[in-house]
Amino acid sequence: MAEFSQTHDRNAGRELAYFWGIGDLHYRTIPSWYEFQTQRFALMFADLRELWRAEGDPMCCVSPGDLIEICTEENYTLARATLQEQLGAIPLYPGVGNHEYFDPAGSSDPATRAQMFTSFWGKPLRYSWQVGDIVCIMLDYPNPALLADPLMVFISQETLSFLDEQLQIHDDKPAVIFLHCPLFNTVLSRDPEQQRDYNSLRHFFSPENSQEVRAILARHRNARLFISGHTHSGWEAPNLVVTEHFAEHDVTFVNLMSPWYTGRHKGFKLSEDLTSSTYTPDEPDVIPSFAFHLYQEQITIRVRDHRTRQWLKAWTIPIHTLSSL
Q: Which CATH class is domain 17-324?
A: alpha beta
| Mean pLDDT of the chain, nearest integer | 93
| Across 187-195, average pLDDT | 96
Quick: pLDDT tens for 224-233.
Answer: 999 999 999 9
pLDDT at 264 over 80: yes
| Across 241-253, average pLDDT | 96
Instruction: Read off the pLDDT band of 321 (50, 70, 90).
Output: low
Quick: pLDDT tens for 57-101.
Answer: 999 999 999 999 999 999 999 999 999 999 999 999 999 999 999
Instruction: Read off the pLDDT band of 44 (50, 70, 90).
Output: very high
Instruction: Read off the pLDDT band of 5 (50, 70, 90).
Output: very low
Instruction: Read off the pLDDT band of 107 (50, 70, 90).
Output: confident
pLDDT given at position 323 = 46
pLDDT given at position 257 = 98
pLDDT given at position 322 = 45
Residue among 68, 61, 65, 80 nearest 21 (CA): 61
Q: Kindly list the domain boundaries of the chain, sorted by start residue.
A: 17-324
- Residue bearing the bigger pLDDT, 34 or 12: 34
pLDDT given at position 11 = 58
pLDDT at 108 over 80: no
pLDDT given at position 243 = 97
Quick: pLDDT tens for 147-170.
Answer: 999 999 999 999 999 999 999 999
* Percent of the chain at pLDDT exceeding 90: 87
